[in-house]
Structure 1
């Protein structure tokens, strides 16, 4: 009787463990890109044609004049320049934390949302590390936006949050080790329970 009870308890514990593991995988599966710092930030597309377009634009080099550093963006926000901040990350990434004035227009749906992005204002495209922003830059320019008004935040949210320094090290601020990572910029809003 004790052996049968032990066996049932063991199966119950195994079932509970697998159930928790399954829930963990569901909630964390969308966060795997947020852990990457190697420049691998692939966009999602809704169709094979959109995927082909995204892959084609991902290899396009944008001019240096279309790049904005975190310090330049911070200064523009402080000066209230009225730049339009477009975050092209997925909604779950945006919900986990974003720049205060940014609006979320995921790259996969960007072409469908162009009517929500003004052609009259300076535009700064934001993503995790800069790769999706470059694809978004190409989409906007190909759709008739002035390439001199469309900018990309260099290093994306990794640089904005101070996770990666401008020197490219993967360390966060740590005064005891003397790392050179920049301090996180202000105006980041997060939602509890995101990735």
Structure 2
């Protein structure tokens, strides 16, 4: 398992450079999850990326499978990108680690289009407690592993306000994406308001 995580970290360093901070969280019944922070910029503005490390050590399995394959199954890590300096977003480390541990702890299989809810603000006074899992491949290429292991996918997380999360449950992820695009929503803004939904 350590070899998989070493390959994952090497892939992250190749994509984002050296992390400027890292923190580790351990949950009962789960292996340690680390969260790496990478400083970056986009459109000339500072950006911070938080990336989990540890979720991909084991494949995600269907909780109803009574004899899961210990090698085969989807593997992933989570990426959250935010504008730097507008909020105390470093407090997202624990909620992000909770989401990354959910496949081990709760038997959740995380995939694009899923909604994940932490039940609390992602950071102090954040207008978000939920995220939408976006498609992989845009920020960090998938990491192929030796057979029979599935590749590791790096899944971006898009913060959702409570009204957006409720609207997504009714109308679906593509419809919410369309709303965001129509209104040129900056999904990296840690203080943004909900997109108009009517």
- Greater fraction of residues in helix: 1
TM-score past 0.5 threshold: no
TM-score (ref. length: structure 2): 0.23
Which has the bigger relative contact order, CA under 8 A and spacing at least 6?
Answer: 1
- Higher share of residues assigned strand: 2
TM-score, normalised by the number of residues in structure 1: 0.23
